Amino acid sequence: MNGRRTGLAFIISGAVLILAALSLVLYNKYDDYRCSKNANDALTYIEDVIPFKTTLERIENEGYKNSPQIEAGGTLSPEINDTTNVEKMEPLKTFDINGTDYIGVIHIPSMKVTLPVTKNWSNKLMKKAACRYDGSALYGNLIICAHNLPSFFKGIQQLNTRDNIIFIDADNKEYVYEVIQIEILGAYDVDDVKAGSDEWDITLFSCTYGGKERVTVRAVQVNKQ
C-alpha cells in the first residue's frame, strides 16, 4: 500500500511540474505576443513621424556598408566619443507618442527585429519598446536595452562579428554599425556595461533567462561622414 501511495505521489508531483513548465512556456509566449504588439503599435505611429521603413529599404538596397572597414577596438572618428564638455553637447531630440518620448528606431537585419526606442528606460517601458539606457548616437556612446524575448533582444547572443545594427534617430538620420564584440557580464555590472565607449559606438544588452547575467553586444559605426 505504501509503495502505491509513493508511486502516486511521484506521478502527481511529476504532473504538477509538467503543468508548471507548460504554464511558464505559455506565459512567455503570451508576454512576447503582448510586448510585440505594443512595439508594432508604436512603430505604426512612428512611421508618421519619421519614414524609417523607406530609410531601411534604401540602406538595404545601397548596402549596409558605405565607408571603409574598421578593425575591432577602433573607430573612424574617435573624437566624437569625447563627451567631457557636456555644455557643448546637443540636446537629445525626441518625439512624443501617446505620452512616451522616443528617440528613434533600431533594426537588426539578421534577427529581422525592428523596435522603437524610448528616451528613458523602466520595466513598464520595456514592455513596449527597446529603451535608451544611456548615451547618444550622435556622440558614439549609445546604450540600448530590451527584454530577453523572441521579438526583442533574445537573439543578440547569436549575432556574429560584422553583423549589422541600424539605428534611425528622430531626425531620420541613419547610423549603421558592425558588431565587433559580444560578452557576458554580471547582472549588476553597470560600470562594465558603460565602459569602453572610446572603443565602440553602440552597446546593446539584455538579461539572460533568469536575469543572472547580461548579454552585451558592442558595435562600431561604419557610415560616419
CA distance 131 to 123: 10
**Is the pLDDT assigned to residue 71 strictly greater than 50?**
no
Across the chain, which distance is largest between two alpha carbons, in Å? 81
190 or 103, greater pLDDT: 103
Taking residue 12's Cβ as centre, other Cβ atoms within 10 Å add up to: 10
Sign of the CA dihedral running 38, 43, 216, 162 = positive
Strand boundaries in the chain, DSSP class E: 95-97, 100-108, 113-118, 130-134, 142-145, 164-169, 174-186, 202-207, 213-221
Grid coordinates given for 122: 523602466
CA distance 45 to 98: 9
Range 63-86 average pLDDT: 45
pTM of the model: 0.78
Q: What is the pLDDT of residue 23?
A: 55
SS3 71: coil
